[in-house]
A and B are shown apart, each in its own frame.
Chain A
Amino acid sequence: MAHSGINIIFEGANFARLMGGLWVTIRVALISIAIGGVLGILLGVLRTFHNRLLRFVLRLYLEFFRIIPTVALLFLFYYILPKDMHLNLPAEEVAVIVFTLWMAAEASDIVRGALESVPQHQIESGLAIGLSRNQLYRFVLVPQSIKLMMPALINLVTRIIKTTSLLLMISVLDVINVGQQIIEANQQQYPQGAFWIYGAIFFLYFIICYPFSLLAKRLQRNK
Protein backbone atom coordinates (compact mmCIF):
# COMPACT_ATOMS: atom_id res chain seq x y z
CA MET A 1 0.00 0.00 0.00
CA ALA A 2 3.04 2.25 -0.06
CA HIS A 3 1.85 4.00 -3.17
CA SER A 4 -1.89 3.65 -2.83
CA GLY A 5 -3.59 6.87 -4.00
CA ILE A 6 -5.73 7.22 -0.91
CA ASN A 7 -2.66 8.24 1.09
CA ILE A 8 -2.78 11.64 -0.58
CA ILE A 9 -5.58 12.57 1.78
CA PHE A 10 -3.42 11.98 4.82
CA GLU A 11 -0.08 13.14 3.41
CA GLY A 12 1.41 15.98 5.47
CA ALA A 13 -1.21 18.50 6.53
CA ASN A 14 -3.53 17.62 3.67
CA PHE A 15 -6.36 16.31 5.79
CA ALA A 16 -6.28 19.30 8.14
CA ARG A 17 -6.23 21.64 5.11
CA LEU A 18 -9.25 19.90 3.57
CA MET A 19 -11.09 20.26 6.86
CA GLY A 20 -10.10 23.91 6.99
CA GLY A 21 -11.54 24.38 3.50
CA LEU A 22 -14.67 22.56 4.52
CA TRP A 23 -15.05 24.88 7.49
CA VAL A 24 -14.91 27.90 5.14
CA THR A 25 -17.59 26.28 3.00
CA ILE A 26 -19.82 25.58 5.98
CA ARG A 27 -19.24 29.04 7.45
CA VAL A 28 -20.27 30.84 4.26
CA ALA A 29 -23.28 28.57 3.83
CA LEU A 30 -24.48 28.85 7.44
CA ILE A 31 -24.15 32.62 7.73
CA SER A 32 -25.92 33.10 4.39
CA ILE A 33 -28.69 30.69 5.28
CA ALA A 34 -29.25 32.27 8.70
CA ILE A 35 -29.27 35.93 7.64
CA GLY A 36 -30.89 35.18 4.27
CA GLY A 37 -33.55 33.07 5.97
CA VAL A 38 -34.62 35.83 8.37
CA LEU A 39 -34.52 38.40 5.59
CA GLY A 40 -36.48 36.03 3.35
CA ILE A 41 -39.28 35.67 5.91
CA LEU A 42 -39.55 39.45 6.24
CA LEU A 43 -39.58 39.96 2.48
CA GLY A 44 -42.03 37.09 2.05
CA VAL A 45 -44.44 38.76 4.50
CA LEU A 46 -44.03 42.08 2.68
CA ARG A 47 -44.80 40.36 -0.61
CA THR A 48 -48.26 39.38 0.65
CA PHE A 49 -49.16 43.06 1.24
CA HIS A 50 -51.25 44.76 -1.38
CA ASN A 51 -48.88 47.64 -2.06
CA ARG A 52 -48.22 47.44 -5.80
CA LEU A 53 -44.89 49.25 -5.88
CA LEU A 54 -43.55 47.11 -3.03
CA ARG A 55 -44.68 43.93 -4.76
CA PHE A 56 -43.11 45.01 -8.02
CA VAL A 57 -39.74 45.90 -6.50
CA LEU A 58 -39.54 42.66 -4.50
CA ARG A 59 -40.58 40.63 -7.52
CA LEU A 60 -37.85 42.27 -9.57
CA TYR A 61 -35.33 41.44 -6.86
CA LEU A 62 -36.44 37.80 -6.79
CA GLU A 63 -36.28 37.39 -10.56
CA PHE A 64 -32.85 39.04 -10.71
CA PHE A 65 -31.39 36.50 -8.33
CA ARG A 66 -33.33 33.59 -9.77
CA ILE A 67 -32.48 34.21 -13.41
CA ILE A 68 -28.83 35.25 -13.27
CA PRO A 69 -26.45 32.30 -12.76
CA THR A 70 -24.75 32.31 -9.38
CA VAL A 71 -21.28 32.42 -10.98
CA ALA A 72 -22.23 35.60 -12.80
CA LEU A 73 -23.55 37.09 -9.55
CA LEU A 74 -20.32 36.21 -7.76
CA PHE A 75 -18.21 37.86 -10.48
CA LEU A 76 -20.52 40.85 -10.59
CA PHE A 77 -20.14 41.52 -6.88
CA TYR A 78 -16.48 40.52 -6.75
CA TYR A 79 -15.36 42.89 -9.50
CA ILE A 80 -17.96 45.66 -9.42
CA LEU A 81 -18.13 46.37 -5.70
CA PRO A 82 -14.46 47.42 -5.40
CA LYS A 83 -14.29 49.12 -8.80
CA ASP A 84 -17.45 51.20 -8.87
CA MET A 85 -18.36 51.47 -5.23
CA HIS A 86 -14.89 51.46 -3.70
CA LEU A 87 -15.87 48.71 -1.36
CA ASN A 88 -12.91 46.39 -1.01
CA LEU A 89 -14.16 43.33 0.76
CA PRO A 90 -12.42 39.98 1.28
CA ALA A 91 -13.66 37.36 -1.17
CA GLU A 92 -15.34 35.37 1.58
CA GLU A 93 -17.46 38.36 2.59
CA VAL A 94 -18.45 38.99 -1.02
CA ALA A 95 -19.52 35.36 -1.16
CA VAL A 96 -21.62 35.76 2.00
CA ILE A 97 -23.34 38.84 0.55
CA VAL A 98 -24.19 37.09 -2.72
CA PHE A 99 -25.41 33.91 -1.06
CA THR A 100 -27.40 35.83 1.58
CA LEU A 101 -29.19 37.88 -1.08
CA TRP A 102 -29.84 34.76 -3.12
CA MET A 103 -31.17 32.84 -0.10
CA ALA A 104 -33.38 35.79 0.88
CA ALA A 105 -34.79 36.12 -2.63
CA GLU A 106 -35.68 32.45 -3.03
CA ALA A 107 -36.89 32.09 0.56
CA SER A 108 -39.16 35.12 0.17
CA ASP A 109 -40.99 33.35 -2.64
CA ILE A 110 -41.41 30.18 -0.60
CA VAL A 111 -42.67 32.17 2.40
CA ARG A 112 -45.06 34.20 0.25
CA GLY A 113 -46.48 31.05 -1.32
CA ALA A 114 -47.01 29.40 2.05
CA LEU A 115 -48.63 32.48 3.58
CA GLU A 116 -50.99 32.85 0.65
CA SER A 117 -52.07 29.24 0.91
CA VAL A 118 -53.43 29.77 4.43
CA PRO A 119 -57.21 29.86 3.86
CA GLN A 120 -58.91 33.28 3.68
CA HIS A 121 -61.26 32.10 6.46
CA GLN A 122 -58.37 32.05 8.89
CA ILE A 123 -57.60 35.67 8.13
CA GLU A 124 -61.23 36.63 8.64
CA SER A 125 -61.64 34.84 11.91
CA GLY A 126 -58.42 36.44 13.12
CA LEU A 127 -59.71 39.87 12.16
CA ALA A 128 -63.09 39.11 13.74
CA ILE A 129 -61.53 38.77 17.19
CA GLY A 130 -59.87 42.14 16.75
CA LEU A 131 -56.31 41.13 15.86
CA SER A 132 -54.19 43.80 14.18
CA ARG A 133 -52.35 42.96 10.99
CA ASN A 134 -49.11 42.33 12.89
CA GLN A 135 -50.84 40.08 15.39
CA LEU A 136 -52.60 38.23 12.59
CA TYR A 137 -49.26 37.39 10.97
CA ARG A 138 -47.54 36.59 14.24
CA PHE A 139 -50.12 34.33 15.87
CA VAL A 140 -52.09 32.92 12.96
CA LEU A 141 -50.52 33.13 9.51
CA VAL A 142 -46.80 32.59 10.11
CA PRO A 143 -47.20 29.63 12.54
CA GLN A 144 -49.64 27.95 10.15
CA SER A 145 -47.49 28.44 7.09
CA ILE A 146 -44.20 27.23 8.60
CA LYS A 147 -45.23 23.60 8.16
CA LEU A 148 -46.13 24.30 4.54
CA MET A 149 -42.83 25.99 3.73
CA MET A 150 -40.44 23.59 5.48
CA PRO A 151 -39.84 21.04 2.65
CA ALA A 152 -39.12 23.76 0.09
CA LEU A 153 -36.90 25.68 2.52
CA ILE A 154 -34.83 22.61 3.30
CA ASN A 155 -34.44 21.92 -0.38
CA LEU A 156 -33.21 25.49 -0.80
CA VAL A 157 -30.71 25.04 2.05
CA THR A 158 -29.15 22.01 0.35
CA ARG A 159 -28.96 23.92 -2.93
CA ILE A 160 -27.14 26.77 -1.17
CA ILE A 161 -24.67 24.36 0.43
CA LYS A 162 -23.97 22.61 -2.86
CA THR A 163 -23.57 25.85 -4.76
CA THR A 164 -20.82 27.02 -2.40
CA SER A 165 -18.64 24.81 -4.64
CA LEU A 166 -18.52 27.85 -6.95
CA LEU A 167 -16.65 29.87 -4.34
CA LEU A 168 -13.30 28.98 -5.87
CA MET A 169 -14.27 31.15 -8.85
CA ILE A 170 -13.66 34.22 -6.71
CA SER A 171 -10.65 32.69 -4.99
CA VAL A 172 -12.24 31.80 -1.68
CA LEU A 173 -10.22 29.02 -0.10
CA ASP A 174 -13.15 26.65 0.25
CA VAL A 175 -12.95 22.87 0.27
CA ILE A 176 -12.87 22.58 -3.54
CA ASN A 177 -10.15 25.19 -3.91
CA VAL A 178 -8.00 23.54 -1.22
CA GLY A 179 -8.59 20.20 -2.90
CA GLN A 180 -7.31 21.50 -6.22
CA GLN A 181 -4.23 22.92 -4.57
CA ILE A 182 -3.50 19.58 -2.94
CA ILE A 183 -3.97 17.74 -6.22
CA GLU A 184 -1.60 20.07 -8.06
CA ALA A 185 1.04 20.08 -5.34
CA ASN A 186 1.12 16.27 -5.26
CA GLN A 187 0.88 15.72 -9.01
CA GLN A 188 4.27 14.00 -9.21
CA GLN A 189 3.85 11.66 -6.30
CA TYR A 190 0.12 10.93 -6.74
CA PRO A 191 -0.91 11.02 -10.41
CA GLN A 192 -4.30 9.58 -9.37
CA GLY A 193 -4.73 12.25 -6.66
CA ALA A 194 -7.70 13.95 -8.31
CA PHE A 195 -9.80 10.82 -7.97
CA TRP A 196 -9.19 10.49 -4.27
CA ILE A 197 -9.43 14.13 -3.34
CA TYR A 198 -12.65 14.73 -5.28
CA GLY A 199 -13.92 11.44 -3.91
CA ALA A 200 -13.28 12.72 -0.41
CA ILE A 201 -14.98 16.04 -1.22
CA PHE A 202 -17.97 14.18 -2.64
CA PHE A 203 -18.20 12.30 0.61
CA LEU A 204 -17.92 15.48 2.71
CA TYR A 205 -20.73 17.26 0.82
CA PHE A 206 -22.81 14.14 1.09
CA ILE A 207 -22.59 13.93 4.86
CA ILE A 208 -23.55 17.60 5.19
CA CYS A 209 -26.48 17.53 2.78
CA TYR A 210 -27.94 14.08 3.34
CA PRO A 211 -29.38 14.80 6.81
CA PHE A 212 -31.34 17.73 5.32
CA SER A 213 -32.63 15.42 2.64
CA LEU A 214 -33.83 12.95 5.28
CA LEU A 215 -35.41 15.74 7.29
CA ALA A 216 -37.32 16.98 4.23
CA LYS A 217 -38.57 13.48 3.54
CA ARG A 218 -39.74 13.07 7.12
CA LEU A 219 -41.57 16.38 7.13
CA GLN A 220 -43.23 15.49 3.85
CA ARG A 221 -44.51 12.25 5.38
CA ASN A 222 -45.84 13.96 8.49
CA LYS A 223 -47.86 16.45 6.53
Chain B
Amino acid sequence: MADELLRVENLNKAYGDQPVLHDINFEVNTGEVLVLLGPSGSGKSTLIRCLNGLEPYQSGDIYFKGDHVTPSSKNWQKLRQKIGMVFQSYDLFPNLKIMDNITLGPIKVQKQAKNVAEKEALALLDSVDLADYAQKYPRELSGGQKQRIAIVRALALHPEFMLFDEVTASLDPEMVRGVLEIMLDLAKQKMTMIVVTHEMNFAHQIANQVLFLEEGRILESTPGAQFFTDPKTDRAKEFLQSMDF
Protein backbone atom coordinates (compact mmCIF):
# COMPACT_ATOMS: atom_id res chain seq x y z
CA MET B 1 0.00 0.00 0.00
CA ALA B 2 2.95 2.29 -0.50
CA ASP B 3 1.20 4.19 -3.24
CA GLU B 4 -2.12 4.88 -1.54
CA LEU B 5 -3.03 8.49 -2.32
CA LEU B 6 -6.45 8.97 -0.78
CA ARG B 7 -8.39 6.96 1.77
CA VAL B 8 -11.90 7.67 3.04
CA GLU B 9 -13.11 6.02 6.23
CA ASN B 10 -16.65 5.90 7.60
CA LEU B 11 -17.70 9.16 5.99
CA ASN B 12 -21.21 10.34 6.90
CA LYS B 13 -23.03 13.40 5.78
CA ALA B 14 -26.56 14.74 6.24
CA TYR B 15 -28.42 17.88 5.29
CA GLY B 16 -30.31 18.50 8.52
CA ASP B 17 -32.16 15.25 9.23
CA GLN B 18 -31.77 14.08 5.67
CA PRO B 19 -28.82 11.67 5.42
CA VAL B 20 -27.05 11.87 2.06
CA LEU B 21 -23.92 9.76 2.58
CA HIS B 22 -23.79 6.65 4.77
CA ASP B 23 -20.60 5.12 6.00
CA ILE B 24 -18.52 5.63 2.88
CA ASN B 25 -15.21 3.72 2.73
CA PHE B 26 -12.79 3.52 -0.18
CA GLU B 27 -9.26 4.24 -1.25
CA VAL B 28 -7.53 5.37 -4.40
CA ASN B 29 -3.95 4.56 -5.33
CA THR B 30 -1.63 6.85 -7.21
CA GLY B 31 -2.18 6.62 -10.95
CA GLU B 32 -5.60 5.02 -10.63
CA VAL B 33 -8.91 6.18 -12.03
CA LEU B 34 -11.92 5.70 -9.78
CA VAL B 35 -15.32 6.19 -11.38
CA LEU B 36 -18.41 6.89 -9.28
CA LEU B 37 -21.60 5.62 -10.86
CA GLY B 38 -25.19 5.56 -9.73
CA PRO B 39 -28.61 7.02 -10.41
CA SER B 40 -29.06 10.75 -9.91
CA GLY B 41 -29.51 11.70 -6.29
CA SER B 42 -27.31 8.82 -5.16
CA GLY B 43 -24.76 11.16 -3.58
CA LYS B 44 -21.94 10.93 -6.15
CA SER B 45 -21.52 14.67 -6.56
CA THR B 46 -21.86 15.30 -2.84
CA LEU B 47 -19.16 12.71 -2.17
CA ILE B 48 -16.73 14.15 -4.71
CA ARG B 49 -17.31 17.63 -3.29
CA CYS B 50 -16.50 16.36 0.21
CA LEU B 51 -13.08 15.32 -1.10
CA ASN B 52 -11.90 18.90 -1.52
CA GLY B 53 -13.79 20.44 1.34
CA LEU B 54 -16.55 22.16 -0.62
CA GLU B 55 -19.08 20.15 1.39
CA PRO B 56 -18.65 19.68 5.13
CA TYR B 57 -19.23 16.16 6.49
CA GLN B 58 -20.51 15.21 9.93
CA SER B 59 -18.23 12.30 10.69
CA GLY B 60 -15.57 10.13 9.18
CA ASP B 61 -11.97 10.64 8.13
CA ILE B 62 -10.12 11.46 4.96
CA TYR B 63 -6.44 10.58 4.63
CA PHE B 64 -4.27 12.18 1.96
CA LYS B 65 -0.99 10.30 1.40
CA GLY B 66 -1.52 8.64 4.75
CA ASP B 67 -1.97 11.92 6.64
CA HIS B 68 -5.26 12.64 8.31
CA VAL B 69 -7.00 15.67 6.82
CA THR B 70 -8.14 18.13 9.48
CA PRO B 71 -11.39 19.51 8.09
CA SER B 72 -10.73 23.21 8.78
CA SER B 73 -11.18 25.84 6.09
CA LYS B 74 -7.53 26.92 6.40
CA ASN B 75 -6.32 23.38 5.92
CA TRP B 76 -8.64 22.73 2.98
CA GLN B 77 -7.47 25.93 1.34
CA LYS B 78 -3.89 24.63 1.42
CA LEU B 79 -4.88 21.16 0.21
CA ARG B 80 -6.98 22.41 -2.69
CA GLN B 81 -3.82 23.42 -4.53
CA LYS B 82 -3.01 19.72 -4.73
CA ILE B 83 -6.53 18.74 -5.78
CA GLY B 84 -7.73 19.83 -9.21
CA MET B 85 -11.48 20.05 -9.56
CA VAL B 86 -13.59 20.52 -12.67
CA PHE B 87 -17.32 21.18 -12.42
CA GLN B 88 -20.32 20.52 -14.62
CA SER B 89 -20.85 24.18 -15.46
CA TYR B 90 -17.14 24.96 -16.16
CA ASP B 91 -17.30 28.25 -14.25
CA LEU B 92 -14.44 30.14 -15.77
CA PHE B 93 -14.16 33.63 -14.31
CA PRO B 94 -15.98 35.88 -16.81
CA ASN B 95 -14.05 38.98 -15.71
CA LEU B 96 -10.68 37.47 -16.64
CA LYS B 97 -9.10 36.54 -19.97
CA ILE B 98 -8.41 32.86 -20.57
CA MET B 99 -4.72 33.34 -19.75
CA ASP B 100 -5.55 35.04 -16.46
CA ASN B 101 -8.14 32.41 -15.61
CA ILE B 102 -5.41 29.80 -15.86
CA THR B 103 -2.60 31.70 -14.15
CA LEU B 104 -4.64 33.17 -11.26
CA GLY B 105 -4.03 30.15 -9.03
CA PRO B 106 -0.36 29.59 -9.96
CA ILE B 107 0.53 33.28 -9.53
CA LYS B 108 -1.62 34.33 -6.56
CA VAL B 109 -1.87 31.08 -4.61
CA GLN B 110 1.39 29.33 -5.46
CA LYS B 111 3.39 32.54 -5.96
CA GLN B 112 4.90 31.43 -9.25
CA ALA B 113 6.62 34.08 -11.36
CA LYS B 114 4.24 35.55 -13.94
CA ASN B 115 6.35 34.65 -16.99
CA VAL B 116 6.89 31.09 -15.78
CA ALA B 117 3.18 30.60 -15.11
CA GLU B 118 2.20 32.10 -18.47
CA LYS B 119 4.69 30.00 -20.38
CA GLU B 120 3.34 26.87 -18.83
CA ALA B 121 -0.26 27.96 -19.36
CA LEU B 122 0.47 28.42 -23.06
CA ALA B 123 1.97 24.95 -23.29
CA LEU B 124 -1.09 23.49 -21.57
CA LEU B 125 -3.41 25.47 -23.85
CA ASP B 126 -1.49 24.17 -26.82
CA SER B 127 -1.98 20.60 -25.63
CA VAL B 128 -5.77 21.09 -25.83
CA ASP B 129 -5.53 23.00 -29.14
CA LEU B 130 -6.65 26.30 -27.67
CA ALA B 131 -3.43 28.34 -27.64
CA ASP B 132 -5.04 30.94 -29.93
CA TYR B 133 -7.63 31.74 -27.29
CA ALA B 134 -5.25 32.89 -24.53
CA GLN B 135 -6.20 36.56 -24.86
CA LYS B 136 -9.93 36.03 -25.28
CA TYR B 137 -12.67 36.21 -22.65
CA PRO B 138 -14.67 33.12 -21.65
CA ARG B 139 -17.86 34.49 -23.24
CA GLU B 140 -16.17 34.22 -26.66
CA LEU B 141 -15.74 30.44 -26.31
CA SER B 142 -18.10 27.50 -26.79
CA GLY B 143 -19.10 25.25 -23.91
CA GLY B 144 -16.70 22.52 -24.94
CA GLN B 145 -13.83 24.96 -25.25
CA LYS B 146 -14.64 26.43 -21.84
CA GLN B 147 -14.63 23.00 -20.26
CA ARG B 148 -11.23 22.22 -21.80
CA ILE B 149 -9.94 25.50 -20.38
CA ALA B 150 -11.41 24.60 -16.98
CA ILE B 151 -9.39 21.36 -17.06
CA VAL B 152 -6.26 23.29 -18.02
CA ARG B 153 -6.92 25.75 -15.19
CA ALA B 154 -6.99 22.88 -12.71
CA LEU B 155 -3.88 21.21 -14.21
CA ALA B 156 -1.88 24.44 -14.05
CA LEU B 157 -1.62 24.01 -10.27
CA HIS B 158 0.17 20.63 -10.72
CA PRO B 159 -2.45 18.77 -8.71
CA GLU B 160 -1.69 15.34 -7.27
CA PHE B 161 -5.14 14.16 -8.20
CA MET B 162 -8.15 15.43 -10.13
CA LEU B 163 -11.86 15.43 -9.37
CA PHE B 164 -14.29 15.55 -12.30
CA ASP B 165 -17.93 16.21 -11.43
CA GLU B 166 -20.11 15.36 -14.46
CA VAL B 167 -17.95 17.55 -16.63
CA THR B 168 -19.71 16.67 -19.88
CA ALA B 169 -23.27 16.72 -18.57
CA SER B 170 -24.11 20.22 -19.82
CA LEU B 171 -22.24 20.03 -23.14
CA ASP B 172 -23.61 19.54 -26.64
CA PRO B 173 -23.03 15.94 -27.76
CA GLU B 174 -20.41 16.91 -30.35
CA MET B 175 -18.44 18.82 -27.72
CA VAL B 176 -18.33 15.89 -25.32
CA ARG B 177 -15.72 13.91 -27.19
CA GLY B 178 -12.97 16.53 -27.07
CA VAL B 179 -13.32 16.79 -23.31
CA LEU B 180 -13.38 13.03 -22.75
CA GLU B 181 -10.28 12.58 -24.91
CA ILE B 182 -8.36 14.97 -22.70
CA MET B 183 -9.36 12.92 -19.68
CA LEU B 184 -8.34 9.65 -21.36
CA ASP B 185 -4.99 11.27 -22.16
CA LEU B 186 -4.56 12.25 -18.53
CA ALA B 187 -5.32 8.68 -17.49
CA LYS B 188 -2.61 7.46 -19.87
CA GLN B 189 -0.18 9.85 -18.21
CA LYS B 190 -1.08 8.16 -14.92
CA MET B 191 -2.93 11.11 -13.40
CA THR B 192 -4.94 9.94 -10.41
CA MET B 193 -8.59 10.79 -10.99
CA ILE B 194 -11.97 10.46 -9.36
CA VAL B 195 -14.69 10.83 -11.95
CA VAL B 196 -18.45 11.22 -11.70
CA THR B 197 -20.02 10.60 -15.09
CA HIS B 198 -23.04 9.32 -16.96
CA GLU B 199 -21.05 8.44 -20.07
CA MET B 200 -20.96 4.66 -19.75
CA ASN B 201 -18.65 3.90 -22.68
CA PHE B 202 -16.19 6.42 -21.39
CA ALA B 203 -16.46 5.05 -17.85
CA HIS B 204 -15.76 1.57 -19.18
CA GLN B 205 -12.67 2.80 -21.02
CA ILE B 206 -11.20 4.79 -18.20
CA ALA B 207 -12.16 3.12 -14.91
CA ASN B 208 -9.67 1.04 -12.95
CA GLN B 209 -12.26 0.77 -10.21
CA VAL B 210 -15.96 1.55 -10.04
CA LEU B 211 -17.91 2.57 -6.97
CA PHE B 212 -21.61 2.05 -7.49
CA LEU B 213 -23.72 4.25 -5.22
CA GLU B 214 -27.38 4.40 -4.42
CA GLU B 215 -29.12 6.51 -1.79
CA GLY B 216 -25.83 7.57 -0.31
CA ARG B 217 -24.41 4.07 0.15
CA ILE B 218 -21.73 2.23 -1.75
CA LEU B 219 -23.55 -0.86 -3.08
CA GLU B 220 -20.48 -2.29 -4.70
CA SER B 221 -16.84 -1.59 -5.41
CA THR B 222 -15.68 -3.52 -8.42
CA PRO B 223 -12.72 -3.38 -10.84
CA GLY B 224 -13.73 -1.46 -13.95
CA ALA B 225 -13.34 -4.33 -16.41
CA GLN B 226 -15.61 -6.55 -14.34
CA PHE B 227 -18.25 -3.98 -13.44
CA PHE B 228 -19.41 -3.45 -16.99
CA THR B 229 -19.56 -7.14 -17.91
CA ASP B 230 -20.39 -8.85 -14.66
CA PRO B 231 -21.40 -6.52 -11.84
CA LYS B 232 -21.76 -8.04 -8.39
CA THR B 233 -25.22 -6.70 -7.52
CA ASP B 234 -28.55 -7.00 -9.31
CA ARG B 235 -29.12 -3.30 -8.74
CA ALA B 236 -26.00 -2.48 -10.75
CA LYS B 237 -27.18 -4.79 -13.55
CA GLU B 238 -30.50 -2.97 -13.68
CA PHE B 239 -28.69 0.33 -13.69
CA LEU B 240 -26.45 -0.67 -16.59
CA GLN B 241 -29.45 -1.92 -18.56
CA SER B 242 -31.34 1.31 -17.95
CA MET B 243 -28.33 3.22 -19.26
CA ASP B 244 -28.59 1.29 -22.54
CA PHE B 245 -25.14 -0.02 -22.12
Q: From A122, A124, A130, A143, give the contact of B77 (CB < 8 A).
A: A130
The minimal Cβ–Cβ distance linking A34 to chain B, given in whole angstroms, is 24
Dominant secondary structure at the A interface: helix
Chain B residues, CB < 8 A from A125: 85, 87, 91-93, 150
Q: Interface-forming stretch among A20-28, A69-77, A131-139, A183-191?
A: A131-139
Q: Is the CB of B80 within 8 A of A127?
A: yes
Interface string of A92-134 (1 = CB under 8 A from B): 0000000000000000000000000001011011111111100
Q: Can you report 28 A-B residue pairs in the complex whose CB atoms are below 8 A from each other?
A: A121-B87, A121-B89, A124-B91, A125-B87, A125-B92, A125-B93, A126-B93, A127-B54, A128-B52, A128-B54, A128-B80, A128-B84, A128-B85, A128-B87, A129-B80, A129-B105, A129-B157, A130-B78, A131-B77, A131-B104, A131-B105, A131-B109, A135-B108, A139-B104, A139-B108, A140-B93, A144-B94, A144-B95
- How far, in Å, is B117 (CB) from chain A's closest CB? 12
State the Cβ distance, A145 to closest chain B Cβ, in Å. Answer: 10
Partner of A132, one of B77, B85, B89: B77
Q: A135-B108, A135-B109, A139-B104 are in contact. Are A130 and B80 (CB under 8 A)?
A: yes
Chain A: which residue is nearest B93 at the CB level? A140
Docked pose: A110 CA to B87 CA in angstroms: 30
- Chain A residues with CB below 8 A from B87, complex form: 121, 124-125, 128
Enumerate chain A residues within 8 angstroms of B151, measured Cβ to Cβ: none
> For the complex, what is the distance from the CA of A126 to the CA of B84, rounded to whole Å?
12
- B154 CB-CB contact with A under 8 Å: yes
Q: Chain B 62-101, CB within 8 Å of chain A: the 1/0 string?
A: 0000000000000001101101110101011111100000
Chain A: interface residue total (CB-CB under 8 A): 17
**B166 → chain A closest CB, angstroms:** 13
Check if B44 is an interface residue, CB within 8 A of chain A.
no
Known: A119-B91, A127-B80, A131-B77. 16 other contacts (CB 8 A): A121-B91, A122-B91, A124-B87, A125-B150, A127-B53, A128-B154, A129-B153, A130-B78, A130-B80, A130-B109, A130-B157, A135-B108, A139-B93, A139-B108, A144-B94, A144-B95
List the A side residues contacting B154 at CB < 8 Å.
Answer: 128-129
Q: Is the CB of B94 within 8 A of A129?
A: no
List, in ascending order, chain A residues with CB within 8 A of B153's CB: 129
A127 near B77 (CB under 8 angstroms)? yes
User: Which 5 residue pairs are nearest across A and B when measured between Cβ atoms?
Assistant: A129-B105, A125-B91, A130-B81, A130-B109, A128-B85
Closest Cβ neighbor of A126 among chain B residues? B93
Interface residues of B in 165-195 (CB under 8 A from A): none
Task: State the A residues within 8 Å of B (CB).
Answer: 119, 121-122, 124-132, 135, 139-140, 143-144
Contact A131 B52 (CB under 8 A): no
Q: How far is the CA of A47 from the CA of B29 in the complex (A)?
A: 43
Q: Complex: how many Å from CA A132 to CA B76?
A: 10
* Cα distance A196–B136 in the bound complex, in angstroms: 56
Q: Which residues of B contact A132 (CB under 8 A)?
A: 77, 109
State the Cβ distance, A19 to closest chain B Cβ, in Å. Answer: 42
- Most B CB contacts (10 A, CB to CB) among A121, A130, A140, A144 go to A130
Nearest-Cβ distance from residue B194 to partner chain A, whole angstroms:
14
Q: Quick one: given A128-B85, A130-B80, are A143 and B95 in contact (CB under 8 Å)?
A: yes
Measured between beta carbons, the chain A residues less than 8 angstroms from B77 are 127, 130-132
A149 to chain B, nearest CB (A): 14
- A22 CA to B109 CA, complexed, in Å: 49
Check A130 against B93 for contact (C-beta < 8 Å). no
Task: For the complex formed, measure the closest distance between the CB of A179 and the CB atoms of chain B, giving whole angstroms.
Answer: 45
CA distance A38 to B85 in the complex (A): 35
Query: Of residues 25 to 67 in B, which have CB atoms within 8 Å of A's CB atoms?
Result: 52-54
A219 to chain B, nearest CB (A): 16
A121 to B92, CA, bound (A): 9
